[in-house]
Amino acid sequence: MSTVSFHISNLLEKMTSTDKDFRFMATNDLMLELQKDSIKLDEDSERKVVTMLLKLLEDKNGEVQNLAVKCLAPLVSKVKEPQVETMVDTLCSNMMSDKEPLRDISSMGLKTVIAELPLSSPGLTLTVSVCKKITSQLIGAMGKQEDVSVQLEALDILSDMLGRLSGALVGFHSSLLASLLPQLTSSRMAVRKRSILALGQLVPCCSPALFSQLTEHLLTELSKAPPTSMTRTYIQCLATISRQGGHRVGEHLEKLIPMVVKFTSVEDDELREYCFQAFEAFIRRCPKEMSPHVPTVTQLCLKFMTFDPNYNYDEGEEDEDSMDIEDGFDEESDDEYSDDDDMSWKVRRSSIKCLEALISTRRDLLLSFYSSLCPALLARFKEREENVRADVFAAFSALLMQTRAGSSHRGNITASSDSGVSVEEEPAVAMLKKQVPVIVKALHRQLKEKSIKSRQGCFCLLTELTHTVPGALEPHIPALIPGIVFSLTDKSTSSTMRIDALSFFHVLLLTHPPQTFQTHMQVLLPPVVACVEDTFYKITSEALLVTQQLVRVMRPQGQNATAAGGFDPKPFVREVFSVTMKRLKATDIDQEVKERAISCMGHMVCHLGDHLGAEMQGVLAIFLEWLKNEITRLTAVRTITLVSASPLKIDLSSILPDTLSVLGSFLRKNQRALKLCTLACLTALVSHHAASIKPAALEPVLSELPALVDESDMHVSQVSISLLTCLAKACPSSLAKIGSSVLSGVFRLVHSPLLQGGALAAILDFLKALVLSKTSNMGYSQLLKALMDPFQRSQCSVDGSVLHRQSFLSVARCVAALCSSCPKETPGTVSALLQEVKNPGSPESARVLALLCLGEVGRSGSLGGSKEVQGVILEAISSTQEEVKTAASCALGSMAVGSLNDYLPFLLKEISSQPRRQYLLLHSLKEVISASPASSLSPHVESIWSLLFQHCECQEEGTRNLVAECLGKLTLVNAAQLLPRLKQQLRAGSPLARSTVVTAVKFTIVDHPAPVDSLLRDCIGKTDR
């Protein structure tokens, strides 16, 4: 006998002990053994273990029984199929036992086995076999009408099995449906409900024919006008199968909707509730198929959302009496309108939830919702039942979310539009803005109600409103402040309520101008300060965020500073400082509170530093202390960045040396976020406090910078080079020490194929600053030589790797940047570049680079209309080397962008007179049209337009495509005039000309919004006859 078998035998023997503790411990040890992946049982051990565990299910001790059930889970995957079938057979027969405890524990055991049956192919045979056994037994159990508890257990297990293993039961779907449908007519409500749940689990995997059979059965039964209790069951079932069956119910809606609509007129509140739940399921699962029925459902929802036959809302006294009634109800009144007597609130709630589903799924109807649903929902803010009112708020919030989803898209368009393009406000936002006074009027009294749930709903709705239309609440702030203060100071208010109030207040402060709150500071500050001192860390944390914004309100900076300049913050500074300082000094507080206290104090120093006086040095010392702490260092770095850039010119000299040393060590850390924040902080310190920084203090930072300039992380490289640029401007002498190592990294980046965008712009700025800093060994000629040397060899390469085409363009941009910084050197450089191009002995790479450099230098207008340059470019375009020809074409286009009047006539003349160079010259013209501002290009539009149409019938397809691209991009210069002219060409000319025009239209469709969009919308898809 193996060791495992011997150990198992010992455990099985102990399980027969008369001592319940022995049995418990042995069963627990067996469970631990079975949970090991390595355990392997022989056939005899399997049989004994299964037999013993099934016997223990009848143990007199409940704890032993529960452990035996837990053992079944790992056992399923450890024993062979016959033993699993034995387990299932025994459990199924026990489930139909007369003994209730055995029945309950066996049901738990069956559910455990079902949860562990394998779903993958190796064990699928076992799963199918076991499912067949269980299903046949459960179908028999469901037929036991005399014992309801057996039926309930069988239905419960069947729901679990269908939910997990419906695919393995495909063969039984039909018989299961036949067994479940009769249960819908059971006299017991519990049986009917569990049957509905089981049918819901059957629906996702059943065949379309079976789904149709189920739906038709429900329709047939409903058409027989059954008793109301049965009608409720069938409608509930419809809602469930719709939720689970998804789009499949769509094809039956034409029959279902009229039937459900008919039952809403039956005087039964529960039935109406189920009808609206069915409508909600139809809307969520089949929004497209529901389209014809939306008006009907909407009208029913609007009708029944006000259904309250036992209560009279007095319109004239709505603002006062309804609130007083709710606050002043005595116990007798509560009994009079209890849920037992009045179920109408369920009808109202379900109809409102149905409206919410409609709003959430049909954004295309948003404008009609504002005219039909918005006023109705606003009128229901007075709802007397708390739960229903919460759903009204939720439905209105859904309307706001849908509005925000549209307006954020339109907002992007506005932001990226030309200054000359006027973009209309989203119509839904405009309609919402008109409703803001009504919303505030309906909510502001409820903000002072005793009902916490109602107040939370109000704050959530107002928060969503503020996000959707920022600034719209400005005229209503005085009406909202009492409600905010009440929720922060009321002793009965829960922690969640306070957090919600603070969260809304924070959003309000962020989205409205500071001067709106300044006159209310006396009222607003004390409750917020009290929340900062609260013992619950979440309230403290949220209150510190609000305090931070209030500090900005006291003395705004930037564009708001002038508008709010008359406010004196002095009376409030001491109160805010003392409470924040208390949290800042504390070491035994939650990390979130700690970080927000640091950030809040940072804002105080930044905005109100001149009011802190002698306290300032102590605060800065604490910042330095938190900077050295691993937990808070990231927040401390951000705070020091903020403080160092303050317009108040805070004196940081007391902590600068230590701060720079610590920041230098952070650049070695492997935490990217910390590294980026540290670089930003160093840039701010160097930019604003260079005079206070001694060269020796910078050494810990300088030694780490060269390693950060690397193509493996372009963003870190970009930020590092921005810091180097600041150093070159503010502390050029310190940069000389690391010049060679930093420059080698920068040049590696310049020659990298990955360099573009922000990183390239940062390098250009750095080179400009460097050449102007007059640092020794980093002059104009040295930098130029280092940039261009790798291209002077016949096989241009850096560190053994061949240079990519992108590196030619990057180096050309760098050369142009150096020329723009040293205009005196430019003529000499241009002459050298021209000689390079003309020299037939120069390597191809050197000539290509020289041409691209000439183009980039010319883009700034530095070349003028030099005849020599034009001659050299034309000669290069006629070169036998393809790369040289392409570079010359690109250079000519760039030069023309910089000096349109000098080069554009020359370019147009060459296009007309040089058919063999036409393709390359058109590339130059494309660059001119793409890169020149519309205002500069406007005087030349007619000449370019006529030239392009002269060549739109060219036999070369490549040339025609290039002409089309030029035409499309030229149309964007003045779309209102040129698009109709382009459209006219479709009715004239040869097929080749028309195909060119059609291709040109493709290039008028650009990624970013443009004036041409509305014009295109009017003519695309329409034909003129």
pLDDT in tens, 576-593: 999 999 998 888 888 899
Listed residue (578, 583, 525, 595) closest to 554, CA to CA: 525
pLDDT of residue 698: 84
pLDDT of residue 406: 65
User: CA 812, 815, 817, 823 torsion: positive or negative?
Assistant: negative
CA 224, 225, 226, 228: dihedral to nearest 10 degrees?
160
Residue 543 parent element (H or E): helix 537-554
Please provide the DSSP assignment of 463-477 as one string. HHHHHHSTTTTGGGH
Cα separation, 862 vs 858, in Å, equals 5
Confidence of residue 421 (pLDDT cuts 50, 70, 90): very low
Which of 91-100, 777-786, 807-816 is most confident?
807-816
Cα separation, 492 vs 870, in Å, equals 84
Asked whether 56 and 93 are in contact (CB, 8 A), the reply is: no
Cα separation, 322 vs 407, in Å, equals 36
CA atoms within 13 A on the CB side of 524: 25
Confidence of residue 770 (pLDDT cuts 50, 70, 90): confident
Please write the tens of the pLDDT for every residue from 741-762: 788 888 888 888 888 888 889 9
Q: Is the pLDDT of residue 528 over 90?
A: yes
Higher pLDDT, 944 or 774: 944
Q: Is the pLDDT of residue 847 over 90?
A: no
Cα separation, 878 vs 175, in Å, equals 84
Least confident of 44-53, 104-113, 477-486, 896-905: 896-905
pLDDT of residue 563: 54
Q: Give the 3-state secondary structure of 396-413.
A: HHHHHHHHHHHHHHHHHH
User: CA 635, 641, 646, 651 torsion: positive or negative?
Assistant: positive
Question: What is the 3-state composition of the chain as percent helix, strand, coil, each rounded to the nearest 5?
Answer: 75, 0, 25
Q: Is the pLDDT of residue 316 over 70?
A: no
Q: Supply φ then ψ for residue 797, to 5 degrees.
A: -155, 160
Higher pLDDT, 390 or 76: 390
Asked whether 463 and 504 are in contact (CB, 8 A), the reply is: yes
Asked whether 775 and 739 are in contact (CB, 8 A), the reply is: yes
Confidence of residue 494 (pLDDT cuts 50, 70, 90): confident
| 763 C-beta neighbours (distance < 10 Å), count | 26
Asked whether 749 and 755 are in contact (CB, 8 A), the reply is: yes
pLDDT of residue 275: 93
Cα separation, 705 vs 854, in Å, equals 33
| 146 C-beta neighbours (distance < 10 Å), count | 7
SS3 1020: coil
For the chain, what percent of residues have pLDDT higher than 70? 89
Least confident of 29-33, 157-161, 323-327, 776-780: 323-327
What residues contact residue 732 under an 8 Å CB cut-off, 6+ apart?
A: 773, 774, 775
Asked whether 294 and 261 are in contact (CB, 8 A), the reply is: no
Amino acid at 490: D
pLDDT of residue 319: 45
Asked whether 157 and 134 are in contact (CB, 8 A), the reply is: yes
Higher pLDDT, 416 or 685: 685
Which of 177-181, 381-385, 638-642, 736-740 is most confident?
638-642
pLDDT of residue 1018: 64
Least confident of 30-44, 137-151, 267-281, 594-608: 137-151
Listed residue (823, 822, 892) closest to 852, CA to CA: 892
User: CA 679, 685, 691, 695 torsion: positive or negative?
Assistant: negative
The tokens for 834 are 């021209």
| 273 C-beta neighbours (distance < 10 Å), count | 24
Least confident of 308-322, 458-472, 554-568: 308-322
Cα separation, 111 vs 88, in Å, equals 10
The angle formed by the CA atoms of residues 955, 957 and 961, to the nearest 5 degrees, is 125
Please write the tens of the pLDDT for every residue from 801-826: 567 778 888 888 888 888 888 888 87
- Cross-strand pairs, 801: 798
pTM of the full structure: 0.77
pLDDT of residue 467: 92
Mean pLDDT of 956-973: 80
Q: Supply φ then ψ for residue 802, to 5 degrees.
A: -70, 140
Least confident of 13-17, 256-260, 706-710, 933-937: 933-937
Residue 801 parent element (H or E): strand 801-802
Confidence of residue 794 (pLDDT cuts 50, 70, 90): low
Asked whether 117 and 165 are in contact (CB, 8 A), the reply is: yes
Listed residue (74, 72, 97, 100) closest to 87, CA to CA: 72
Confidence of residue 248 (pLDDT cuts 50, 70, 90): confident
Listed residue (857, 854, 756) closest to 810, CA to CA: 756
Helix 386-416 vs helix 427-444: angle between axes, to the nearest 10 degrees? 150
Q: Is the pLDDT of residue 658 over 80?
A: yes
pLDDT of residue 336: 46
Amino acid at 155: L
Cα separation, 609 vs 649, in Å, equals 9
- Classify residue 355 by burial, with Cβ atoms within 10 Å: 0-12, 13-18, 19+: buried
Q: Is the pLDDT of residue 350 over 90?
A: yes
Confidence of residue 795 (pLDDT cuts 50, 70, 90): low
| 370 C-beta neighbours (distance < 10 Å), count | 20
Which of 5-9, 36-40, 363-367, 944-948 is most confident?
363-367
Q: What letters, b where the CB count within 10 A reaches 16 and e where it falls short, cover 802-830?
A: ebeeebbbbbbbbbbbbbbbbeebbeebb
Mean pLDDT of 235-244: 90
Cα separation, 165 vs 116, in Å, equals 11
Confidence of residue 634 (pLDDT cuts 50, 70, 90): very high
- Classify residue 451 by burial, with Cβ atoms within 10 Å: 0-12, 13-18, 19+: middle
SS3 419: coil
Mean pLDDT of 894-914: 80
Asked whether 253 and 286 are in contact (CB, 8 A), the reply is: yes
Higher pLDDT, 639 or 833: 639
SS3 798: strand
For the chain, what percent of residues have pLDDT higher than 90? 19
**Rg of the chain, C-alpha, whole Å:** 39
What residues contact residue 797 under an 8 Å CB cut-off, 6+ apart?
A: 790, 803
Least confident of 220-229, 475-484, 777-786: 777-786
pLDDT of residue 101: 82
What is the chain's length? 1025
Cα end-to-end distance, the chain, whole Å: 96
Asked whether 260 and 242 are in contact (CB, 8 A), the reply is: no
Cα 566–chain centre separation: 40
SS3 208: helix
What residues contact residue 147 under an 8 Å CB cut-off, 6+ apart?
A: 96
